Amino acid sequence: MDGVIFVAVVTARVAVPLAIPRFPLPAMLAALVIDGIDQTIFQTFTSLDLSGYQAYDKALDVYYLSIAYVATLRNWTNLAGYDISRFLYYYRLIGVVLFELTQLRWVLLVFPNTFEYFFDFYEGVRTRWDPRRMTRGLLIGAAAFIWIFIKLPQEWWIHVAQLDMTDFLKEEVFGVPAESSWAAAVAANPTVVLVAGILLALLAVLGWWLLTRRLPPADRPFTLDADSQQPAVDKVAIRRRRDRMAETFFDRELIEKIVLVAFVSVIFAQMLPCDDGSPLGIAIGVGLVILVNTAVSEWFIRRGRRWGSVVRQFGLMLALNVVIVGVAGIMLRLLSAEPFQHALVFVLLLTLIVTLYDRYRPVHLTRFSR
């Protein structure tokens, strides 16, 4: 049973983020919730040794945030919002790389994960309003508010003070030992639950009042589907843009792909147990693989071929990357020095990010071509 629960939770953490491009807000919130409760589920319902899970837990966080970033290329129609989100994403990515290389926990306070909540804010607005109405000033203000009043306290709590919210609530709020069950905590101080319920009700009333009385009228019916009520982008124009991009090998898109995947791969390498690959070696290996991927992809396009579905493109590129890693063994020396499954993690990660980026970057460029 322990194995079944473990596989179910990890599968959810891998599969749910794949829905972010089409259903950004519910999928992102679901990924956030699963991330927050996975270890509680393991501790409550299994007897598994979780000493090695922390590394994979952090790696899976980077995984779903990377998918969220490439989803902004597909969906976001406010250019200022996209520019801010890109800065926030790469800023956090740099911070995580520095933390993994130095193990200085205050680094994560300096480089907070503002991108995640900013993404949720934008997508929350998009459920009923046209996000193109938001001014650059409003978006910067929202990012600054999230950064200062939400993420800085949260990062300090988790990474500097290293406090556990569950233990804090049990000891300081319910007045019971940290090892007590939640049932015992509630039985010891049921008033806390009553007060919390009243506060949640008041917040719900306040939210409804803001939604119906203070916010501007909705532009469209409520929707969680990124393709619903979305300004259409001409598919022919996207195909032409992709064809033009294939005519130039070295461009800013190639550089961003290398930087993006190299950073994510370095983070994954530091988190995987028993790995001793150097960050520079990882970056060089990833860069070489992406160069080959790009050359093959652009050759394919220049010959007038189309990838078809994203699944087909992912499958073909995955097969190519497995061959590259298997023959050259350039990624982290994992095939010779470490378990094969570690190399497979890198191949899957690299292929997924590159595939989604190649699919969605032309959409973004076509949308803002004017």
Answer yes or no: is 265 within a domain. yes
DSSP state of 160: I
Question: Angle at which helices 114-126 and 24-45 pack, to 10 degrees?
Answer: 130
The 10s digit of each residue's pLDDT in 205-251 is: 987 887 777 778 888 899 999 998 888 888 888 888 888 887 777 78
What pLDDT does 26 receive? 96
Residue 130 lies in a domain: no
Write 2-6 long-range contacts (CB < 8 A, 24+): 2/46, 2/47, 2/48, 5/41, 5/42, 5/45, 5/46, 6/42, 6/46, 6/48
Confidence at residue 311, expressed as pLDDT on a 0 to 100 scale: 81
Instruction: Name 14's Cβ contacts closer than 8 Å, sequence gap at least 6.
Output: 60, 63
In a domain, residue 22? The reply is no
Which contacts (CB < 8 Å, 24+ apart) does range 351-354 have? 351/314, 351/317, 351/318, 351/321, 352/67, 352/314, 353/66, 353/67, 353/70, 353/257, 353/260, 353/261, 353/264, 354/257, 354/261, 354/290, 354/293, 354/317
Least confident of 131-135, 154-158, 271-275: 271-275
CA-based nearest residue to 269, from 348, 346, 349, 341: 346
Which structure tokens are listed for 118? Answer: 């900013």
Segment of 42-46, 55-59, 240-244, 322-326 carrying the highest mean pLDDT: 240-244
Of residues 55 and 21, the one with the higher pLDDT is 21
Domain for residue 12, yes or no? Answer: no
Q: Is the pLDDT of residue 337 over 50?
A: no
Distance CA 167, CA 1 (A): 27
Q: How many domains does the chain have?
A: 1
In a domain? residue 127: no
Q: Is the pLDDT of residue 163 over 70?
A: yes
Q: What is the pTM of this model?
A: 0.87
Token pair of 117, please?
């909540």
Q: What is the DSSP string of 54-67?
A: HHHHHHHHHHHHHH
Please name the amino acid found at residue 343. A
Is residue 184 assigned to a domain? Answer: no
Q: Is the pLDDT of residue 275 over 60?
A: no
Of residues 343 and 109, more confidently modeled: 109
Question: What is the domain range of residue 319?
Answer: 232-370
Residue 358 lies in a domain: yes
Q: Is residue 55 part of a domain?
A: no
Residue 349 in this model has a pLDDT that exceeds 90? no
The C-alpha angle with vertex 31 and arms to 30 and 35, in degrees rounded to 5, equals 115
What is the percent of the chain where pLDDT is above 70?
Answer: 89
